[in-house]
Structures are given as C-alpha cells and as structure tokens.
Structure 1
C-alpha cells in the first residue's frame, strides 16, 4: 500500500527543488541571465506549481534569482542590461535528474494536485458535491491512498469536509461564507503585512508596482494574470512574517478567491481596473515606507473586495456549472 507523509504540505519537495536548482546554478548548468519560470520547473521535477513557486521565491530571497520585466525570473550575476537568455529547460539543466526528491507515491500526488484542486475549486460556487474516492483514483490513475491524502490536505484548508456518513463533500460556498471569510481576512492580512513589509526588499515592491500598472493599462485582464496579481498582494507580500500560524489561518480564509477565479474563467477574463487601483494604493504606501497606512488600505481593499465577490457569486448563478469529472457527484437533497 502506498504511504504518503507530507509534513508541512509541500515543504519537503520545495526544499529539495530549491537545493537542486541552487546546485545547478553553482555548477554553471544555469548561466546568468537564464530565464526560469514555474511551469518547466514543475514539469521537470514531476510536481505541482506550488512547491516550484516556493522554491523560486526562496532562490530570489537567497539572491540566486532576480525578477525582471518579463515572465519568470533571471539567474542572477549577469549585471544590469543583460539580455534575458531563453533556453529549453531540461531535467538535466535544472538538476532534477540528480535531486533526492520524495518517493514515487508522493510524486504521483503532487503531479495531479493542481488539477485535482482546480476541479474542487470550480465546483464550490455551484452547489454541493460528493467526491467518490474510487472513481477519482481511477480517473487520475492513482491509488485511493493518494486521493485520500490530497483530500486531507484540502480539508485542512477548508476546501472539503466530511459529512456524518464520512463522505467527502465540496460546497456550497454561500454569500454568508464569503462575508465570514473576508471578515477574517480583513483582520489577519493587514496584521501579516505589518510583520512582513519591513522585511520585504524595495525591489520586490517596485516590481509589483510596475506589473500592476502594466495590467491597469489594458481593458481586460486574463484569468492567469488576475490570479498572479492577487497572489502577489495577498500572499507573496505577506510571506516574510515570522508567524507561520498566522499565514496558515490566512490561507484557510482565502477560499472565497475561487469565486473570482471561476467568474474570470467563465467570461474569459474580467475588467479589473478598480481593484488594481486599490492594489496600487497599498503598494505605493509600501514604497514610501508607510506600513501602517498600507495596512489600513489593504483592510479597506478587502472590505470592497467582499462586496464585489458577493456580486460575482450572484452572477455565477446564471451560468451553467462547469463540466466536472464523473467522480464529482452533485447532491440536491442532503442532511449534515
């Protein structure tokens, strides 16, 4: 039987990927100015994007990678003005061929984790669904143990729960839920920002301002870009707080963001100028070193976002639910 042990979620894989990439940089397999992004790293290491993203962020912190105007990161050391070096990133060049990563079952879990989470998130605003473990395992080509481990991760985040019969249940996400989640976020995210902002390099904040201004200049922002900008403000900026418990509670309260993602996917992007202006206010205060003002602006942004998110949830009621795999079984009558 496959046995999965994933302490602190994806931390072991993130740490192994970080060390492998740093070794590849030190050994010259990744030359200065080489462009590196999440997708090829995740693919090379057979994992989801989450540990890949954390590894790249850690290498930025260590000074081995740096942000630039394009997508992804540059290997540091080329100096200002160096042209980005775009090459095919292979498992060998990234150091994945020699990395002491987790066991095969865990690799299987990580490989399907992003897809599995997307399925669950897509269902949340559209009612209540029961997950059939056996069917999910067959659909994704893994064991029930792998599916159960992923479900336990999502249970900790509040994406799924068990009913009285021990069935895994998704949804429904209601307007009342959104109000409650945002009330938590309004208290916790500004608190984390106060801790994290003084530890955040000015270069990181300036890059976020540039990217946000660029998105603000176009009439329609893609779903992927929306997700990235949201992650920058509501997660990346908060990561440097030393309070890991605070970050865990924040992650659990950000479930309501799936409404924005599903809404954005449904219409192929969305006008985002109002929210982006609010992002820029927070970032500009941070650029000036006004951490308390930035925290207050973030709280106000979350208050306004709660109202917008509730309206989007109402709008989704007129959309047909997305096509979901057969293991997502809709329930119309139920008792908790």
Structure 2
C-alpha cells in the first residue's frame, strides 16, 4: 500500500501524468483521509472546479468517485459532505479549509489558468476576423503576444479547433475562415431552430428585475450613441445571457458554435451597419424582453425565432460589404491569406 501511495504522490508532482479528474480525486482523497479538511465540509462541483482551475466535468467525476468509495456522502442534492449525518455542514473555500496542491500539480493548474485567462480574448479576435476572409494563425506569435508559453498557445488553438473556429492542414498549420454566405445561412438556420428551444427551457425562471435591466440597456442604446461594443453587449444580453442559460450542455455548445462568428463581428459594425437595421434589432429584443417579463413565454419564443429569421438577410448584406479589416484590427498572430 505504501508503495502505491508513494507512486501516486510522485505522479501528482509530474504535470500531465494523471488525467485531470484523477488528479483532483487523489488530492481530495488525501486531504480527507489525512483529516486535513474539517468534518462537515461541503464539497460542490463549482467550488472544487474553481479551486483546481478546472471545469465542472472533471470536478464532478472526482466527487462521484469519492462518493462511491464512501469518503463523502450526498448532501441534499447540492454536493457532498465529509463525515456522517451527525456533523454540521461547513461551507468554506477549499483553500481556507486547508487545501494544499502538490508542487507539480500547482504548476500545471497555473499553466491551465493562463490558458483560461487568454482564451476568451483569442476566441473573440478569431471569430471577429472570419467575415474578412481566410487567416493563418501563428502559434509562436500568439504565445509572444499574450506572454505565454508555446504549450499554452497550443492548448488555446486546440480548444478553438474543437469549437470549429480554426482547423489544421496536413502541415499542422492553423487556419481560420472565411465565413461564407453559405456558412452564414447554416449558422442562422441552426440558431432559429435551437435558440427558441433553449429559451423555452429557462423562460419561467428568468427574474423580472433582470429583464427590466436588460430592457433599460436596450432603450438607452435605441435613444443614444450606438457603439460597436454596445451592440455586442445587447446581443449578449439576449442570445448569451438568457439563451445559453439552458441546462442542456450539448444544446448550449451547439448554439454557441453558430453564435460566435456572428456576434463577434459586431465589433466592426460601426462603418457598415445601418441605423435602420440597428433600430429594428433593438425593437425586436425589447419585444422579447417585454413578453418574457409579462409571462407570455410562447410569444417571446416565437418572437425570438422571427428575429433570427429576419436577421439573416441583413447579415448577408453586411457580409457582402465587409472587404478589409479596419486599421489595427488584427492581432499580430492573425495573418491574412490571399485567395
């Protein structure tokens, strides 16, 4: 047994030696067995994922294994508790509860954290360029631009590949784009088929105060200056903050893949989008918010589908207008490829 423990501890100090869920399980198990954590400590997927800079999937797998082994017990459907039913539940951040990560594993999680910090920016920049043609992504330039290692840059590009934003050729070079009219039609068709379903799953749970706040932002944009960042925020208010709140993970990921290249392009709309189109878009968002706020969920869902179907035509016109990116728009790791 001691030999097995020693071997496992050694592997924990070797970054990448264990699958992430197993590394999380091993660290938590050692802390429980050695009584580092206080009795009654509540272990939830979100808290564990946050402590290990991971997603909820490996965190959930680690907790389920601990539960199968009898090291934790289920707690009111909201996680797990260390100890028997007589102990009082204790809610603490894991590091405050005594969590200590092995040196090698801590290094791996720091690297993972750097990846998570830069990924949203890279994803947005790549998605926003798709309407302007085809681009080569330089892995070394990406690493230098964001001050990370080549390993982290490669992880970011691999994740982008999984979302469908980039692809690799036979020479292992990374490419993005172009967003063609045919692809745009396919993305919008996916959206008007799936976004109403996603909204129907969350409509009864949306707080009226939140809807009122979103409506106020839309009204301010309708009556004031419409910066590209404002337009993108309005799109997020409806299509991301509400639609992607649905509990079905597969549905969320499928919708998001079709949203990315369309919503991100708003950052370049200033010179191309018509005021009439913006006014129409805002009015349609407001109608959806008002229907949701008044409990007319079926009408809100129908209005969302109608909004997406109508938006296809205006986005095709916009795509035809886009020729070259604005000055200083492209980060240095995105290199235009001549057709």
1:327 corresponds to which of 321, 327, 333:
333
Q: Mean Cα displacement is larger for which, 133-142 or 317-326?
A: 317-326
Question: Which structure has the larger Rg over C-alpha atoms?
Answer: 2
Map residues 114-133 of structure 1 onto 2, 5 A cutoff.
114-133=120-139
Do the aligned partners of 1:259 and 1:309 also contact (CA within 8 Å) in 2?
no
Q: CA distance change for structure 1 residues 162 and 225 in 2, over 3 Å: closer, same or farther?
A: same
1:291 corresponds to which of 293, 297, 305:
297
SS in 2 for 1:103: helix
Q: Which residue of 2 aligns with 1:242?
A: 247
Q: Which residue of 2 aligns with 1:225?
A: 230
Do the aligned partners of 1:108 and 1:146 also contact (CA within 8 Å) in 2?
yes
Asked whether 1:252 is paired with 2:280, we answer no
Question: In structure 1, how many angstroms separate the alpha carbons of the residues matched to 2:222 and 2:320?
Answer: 25
Map residues 175-324 of structure 1 onto 2, 5 A cutoff.
175-218=181-224, 220-258=225-263, 260-264=265-269, 272-317=278-323, 322-324=328-330
Where structure 1 has 5 or more consecutive residues not aligned to the other structure, the ranges are 8-13, 21-45, 47-94
2:164 corresponds to which of 147, 153, 158:
158
1:303: how far off?
Answer: 1.0
Q: CA distance change for structure 1 residues 270 and 255 in 2, over 3 Å: closer, same or farther?
A: farther
Question: In structure 2, how many angstroms separate the alpha carbons of the residues matched to 1:187 and 1:306?
Answer: 13
Question: In structure 2, how many angstroms separate the alpha carbons of the residues matched to 1:216 and 1:265?
Answer: 15
Do the aligned partners of 1:282 and 1:298 also contact (CA within 8 Å) in 2?
yes
Q: CA distance change for structure 1 residues 215 and 168 in 2, over 3 Å: closer, same or farther?
A: same
Do the aligned partners of 1:3 and 1:105 also contact (CA within 8 Å) in 2?
no
1:268: how far off?
Answer: 10
SS in 2 for 1:169: strand
Q: Over residues 64-104 of structure 1, what are the superposed CA-to-partner deviations in whole Å (9 max), with x where a residue is unaligned?
A: xxxxxxxxxxxxxxxxxxxxxxxxxxxxxxx9x97989822
1:125: how far off?
Answer: 1.4
Do the aligned partners of 1:260 and 1:309 also contact (CA within 8 Å) in 2?
no
Question: In structure 1, how many angstroms separate the alpha carbons of the residues matched to 2:125 and 2:15?
Answer: 23
Question: In structure 2, how many angstroms separate the alpha carbons of the residues matched to 1:200 and 1:132?
Answer: 42
Q: Over residues 263-318 of structure 1, what are the superposed CA-to-partner deviations in whole Å (9 max), with x where a residue is unaligned?
A: 32556996621100011111121122111111111011001111111111112126
Question: In structure 1, how many angstroms separate the alpha carbons of the residues matched to 2:233 and 2:326?
Answer: 26
Question: In structure 1, how many angstroms separate the alpha carbons of the residues matched to 2:168 and 2:214?
Answer: 39
SS in 2 for 1:317: coil
1:120: how far off?
Answer: 1.5
Q: CA distance change for structure 1 residues 263 and 331 in 2, over 3 Å: closer, same or farther?
A: same
Question: In structure 1, how many angstroms separate the alpha carbons of the residues matched to 2:131 and 2:244?
Answer: 28
Question: In structure 2, how many angstroms separate the alpha carbons of the residues matched to 1:209 and 1:316?
Answer: 30
Where structure 2 has 5 or more consecutive residues not aligned to the other structure, the ranges are 1-13, 22-44, 54-92, 100-105
Q: CA distance change for structure 1 residues 305 and 260 in 2, over 3 Å: closer, same or farther?
A: farther
**How many equivalent pairs are there?**
255
Q: Mean Cα displacement is larger for which, 147-156 or 201-210?
A: 201-210
RMSD: 3.6
Q: CA distance change for structure 1 residues 242 and 325 in 2, over 3 Å: closer, same or farther?
A: closer
Map residues 137-156 of structure 1 onto 2, 5 A cutoff.
137-156=143-162
